[in-house]
Amino acid sequence: MIRQQIGDLLEFEYEGRFYYIVVLTKIVMFGGNIVFAHHTDGTRCLFADVNLKRKGFNICTDLLFPKREGKVRRIHRYEDISEFWMTKYAKGTNEYRRGHRAKEWYVYHINDLRNHIGRFRRLPRKYRSAMDHATFSFDRTAQLILDKYTPDKNEHL
């Protein structure tokens, strides 16, 4: 089983599709790493193709499930990961019902995900592209990758 480290570009084969992520942090929230998830269509890519495509999003995801399956491969290690940080903020809300807009948002800095730096009734434009403040299971992350998700598409905005 691969022990992921900051800067690793990992290839996951999950349910017959391939996903590519860059690990940005050690384990943070509830056992998840913050990663940069490359938008893909699920086909296997060469390193050069993945390296050129810098479209994707930051997300905190639990990598245990796909690692347990044994279908993980380290294909590169980046020394400088700064270009993979889309934002240094995370946004969260207590609204979880589908189709309902959030009435209150909390904003966190990546360096301190426990204490919010702001509380807003309406999320300022500056924070709309902040990553979602949650840890997602890998199956959900995989679906978001295929859907070409970005945090400004959060259903509660």
Confidence grade of residue 157 (pLDDT, cut at 50, 70, 90): low
For residue range 49-103, list pLDDT tens digits in order: 888 878 999 999 998 888 887 689 999 999 999 999 998 999 988 766 777 777 8
Separation CA 22–CA 26 (nearest Å): 12
In a domain, residue 121? The reply is no
On whether residue 120 sits in a domain, the answer given is no
In a domain? residue 137:
yes
Write down the pLDDT at residue 95.
65
Answer yes or no: is 102 within a domain. Answer: no
- In a domain? residue 119: no
Q: Is 17 exposed, middle or buried (0-12, 13-18, 19+ CB in 10 A)?
A: middle
Helix (H) or strand (E) holding 35: strand 33-38
Query: Domain limits at 60?
Result: 8-87+132-152
Find the angle CA(54)-CA(136)-CA(98) to the nearest 5 degrees: 105
Please check whether residue 95 lies inside any domain of the structure.
no
Query: Total domain count for the chain?
Result: 1
14 assigned to some structural domain: yes
> Domain for residue 93, yes or no?
no
Q: What are the pLDDT digits (tens) for 98-121? A: 777 778 889 999 888 889 999 898
**Average pLDDT over every residue of 119-144:** 90
Residue range 31-38: average pLDDT?
92
| 147 pLDDT above the threshold of 90 | yes
Mean pLDDT calculated for residue range 127-146: 91
pTM of the model: 0.88
